[in-house]
Amino acid sequence: MSSPKATPIIIGVGDIKNRSQKVEDAIEPLHLMLRAIEQALNDTDASSKHDLQSQIDSIDVVRTWTWPYPDIAASIAEHIGAEKVGRVFCSDHGGDKPAKLVDEAARRISKRECEIAVVTGGEALASLAACVAAKTMPPPGWTKPDQNVESVFSPTSRELAKTLGGRHSIGAPIHIYPLYENGFRSHWGQSIEENNSESAELYAEFAKVAEQNSMAWNHGKPAETADSIGTVSKRNRMICYPYPLLMNAFNTVNLAAAVILTSTVRAEALGIPKHKWIYPLGGAGTAESSEFWNRMNFYSSPAICASLDKGLAAAALSKDDIDLYDFYSCFPIVPKLACKHLGLPVVSKGKREKPITLLGGLTSFGGAGNNYSMHAITEMVRQLRSGNNGQQNGLILANGGTLTYQHVLCLSSQAPAKAYSSSNPLPAQLPAEPPIPVAEHAEGEAVIETYTVEFARDGEPLRGYIVGRLLGDGKRFVANHGDRNTLNRLCSRELEPVGSKGFAWESPSQETIVT
HSE toward the beta carbon, residue 185, CA cutoff 13 A: 30
Cis peptide before 139 (omega within 30 of 0): no
Distance (Å, whole) CA 341 – CA 137: 46
Q: Say if 127 falls within a structural domain.
A: no
pLDDT of 126 over the 80 cut: yes
Tell me if 390 sits within 8 A of 411, measured CB to CB. Answer: no
Q: Say if 496 falls within a structural domain.
A: yes
DSSP state of 236: B
Q: What is the pLDDT of residue 434?
A: 84
Q: Say if 508 falls within a structural domain.
A: yes
How many CB atoms lie under 10 A from the CB of residue 135? 7
The total number of residues written for the chain in this structure: 515
Distance (Å, whole) CA 28 – CA 482: 46
Residue 41's region, left for phi above 0, alpha for psi from -120 to 50, else beta, is: alpha
Q: What is the mean pLDDT of the chain?
A: 96
Q: Say if 492 falls within a structural domain.
A: yes
Range of the domain at 510: 444-514
Q: Say if 130 falls within a structural domain.
A: no
Structural domain count of the chain:
1
Q: What is the pLDDT of residue 2?
A: 60
List pLDDT tens digits, range 237-294. 999 999 999 999 999 999 999 999 999 999 999 999 999 999 999 999 999 999 999 9
How many CB atoms lie under 10 A from the CB of residue 332? 30
Q: Say if 137 falls within a structural domain.
A: no
Q: What is the pLDDT of residue 1?
A: 43
Q: Say if 499 falls within a structural domain.
A: yes
Helix, coil or strand: residue 49: helix
Cβ neighbors of 380 (< 8 A, separation 6 or more) are 278, 324, 326, 358, 394, 396, 411
Residues in a beta bridge with 144: none
Distance (Å, whole) CA 161 – CA 6: 44
Residues in a beta bridge with 468: 448, 477
Q: Say if 474 falls within a structural domain.
A: yes
- CATH code assigned at 506: 2.40.50
Does the predicted model carry a pTM greater than 0.85? yes
List pLDDT tens digits, range 63-116. 999 999 999 999 999 999 998 999 999 999 999 999 999 999 999 999 999 999
DSSP state of 317: -
Residues in a beta bridge with 469: 447, 476
pLDDT of 483 over the 60 cut: yes
